């Protein structure tokens, strides 16, 4: 995916559902969520095991349905476990699927693209935002 496309996604997106959110500060999902909140994004953590609790002052949703409306779904899940949240994202009208570093699932990505969603794989917005000069 080109830098221009990534830049467009990151500058046009406001609402992000972060699937696989963790309340543990040492986890990558926690740090990325903290970074995104600091950049002004409206981030809803999604984790059924933590539903109703708070992470970084944001109430944890059990499902993507509970996090809607959303624009981007960021996935901190194993590549084998992204199909269900991507199907939910398509159904809920998300514009972008973002799979974190190390997460690549071409079959699921093709399905999302066929439904009109942009798909970013094996990347991190907390790396791309500073790299592209988009820090706020």
Q: For residue 3, what are the contacts with CB-CB under 8 A and spacing of at least 6?
A: 132
pLDDT score of 37: 98
Tell me how far apart the alpha carbons of residues 82 and 110 are, in angstroms, rounded to a whole number: 12
pLDDT score of 85: 98
Give per-residue pLDDT as tens, 42-64: 999 999 999 999 999 999 999 99
Going from N- to C-terminal start, the domains of the chain cover: 3-131
Give per-residue pLDDT as tens, 93-117: 999 999 999 999 999 999 999 999 9
For the domain covering 3-131, report its CATH number. 3.40.50.720
pLDDT score of 12: 98
- Percent of the chain scored above 90 by pLDDT? 99
DSSP H stretches of helix in the chain: 3-12, 28-38, 64-67, 83-92, 106-114, 125-131
């Amino acid at each position: 995916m080109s830098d221009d496309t990534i830049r467009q996604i990151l500058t046009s997106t406001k609402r992000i559902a972060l699937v696989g959110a963790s309340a543990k500060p040492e986890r990558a999902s926690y740090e990325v969520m903290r970074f995104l909140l600091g950049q002004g994004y409206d981030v809803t953590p999604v984790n059924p095991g933590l539903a109703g609790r708070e992470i970084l002052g944001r109430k944890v949703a059990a499902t993507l349905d509970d996090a809607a409306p959303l624009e981007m779904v960021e996935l901190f899940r194993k590549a084998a476990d992204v199909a269900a949240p991507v199907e939910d994202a398509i159904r809920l009208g998300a514009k972008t699927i973002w799979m974190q570093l190390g997460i690549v699932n071409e079959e699921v990505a093709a399905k999302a693209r066929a439904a009109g969603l942009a798909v970013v794989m094996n990347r991190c917005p907390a790396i791309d935002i500073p790299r592209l000069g988009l820090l706020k």
